[in-house]
Amino acid sequence: MATLGDTEIIIKSFFDSRKSNKTRKEAAEIINFLIARFQKCPDYPFVQAKEIQAHFKDVIPDSTLFRQLADMERKGIVKREEHIEISETSKAGKKKPSVYYRIELSIKYPVETPSDRALGKIAKRYKELAIAKRLLKDCHKKNPNYDPDAAIKTIFDEENSDYARFIPEDEEKED
């Protein structure tokens, strides 16, 4: 399993790949359902696909549900297994396997989707950071070895650094 830090990066990149806040919420619901099942029954955390489908029957369309599960499998968030199970009620010569899913990562429960507003703030900060790096580089044109990333890291690594001085006044009031 991935470390908790890796898990957060994987989950964040997965939510970033979702096109709308609605699909992010649906993905979080699916992940939380699988986590709850894992916590309820850690010895056998697999959930049959038809059980997941029944749980989300009136909430998430089937095509969206299975697309989300397939995307989660590609990202390594869930694991998919298939088993051909033959029981007394099985048709003779059954070829179609039963599909099971389980949570693959160690994830904090419950998973929350970042709001569009929070994502907008993060995007704005990254843009500001890119501009600041470009300005630092422009200010040090005479020194081709100048690294703005190292300069920024040095400031943040200083002992007793007062990070509050870097937060714009308008954000202090919002939070």
- pLDDT for 114 equals 60
Q: Distance between CA atoms of 27 and 11, rounded to whole angstroms? A: 10
Cα angle: 59, vertex 60, 63; to 5 degrees: 155
Q: What is the C-alpha radius of gyration for the chain, rounded to an integer number of angstroms? A: 23
Write down the domain spans for the chain: 4-103, 116-174
- Over the chain (175 residues), the average pLDDT of each successive run of 10 is 62 82 87 85 83 91 91 88 69 74 69 61 76 80 79 68 57 47
Residue 55, pLDDT score: 92
Instruction: Supply the pLDDT for residue 164.
Output: 54
Check whether domain 4-103 has CATH 1.10.10, yes or no: yes
With H, G, I as helix, E, B as strand and everything else as coil, classify residue 52.
helix
Residue 119: predicted pLDDT: 63
The C-alpha angle with vertex 66 and arms to 16 and 35, in degrees rounded to 5, equals 70
* pLDDT score of 168: 57
pLDDT at 110: 56
Amino acid (one-letter) located at 86: I
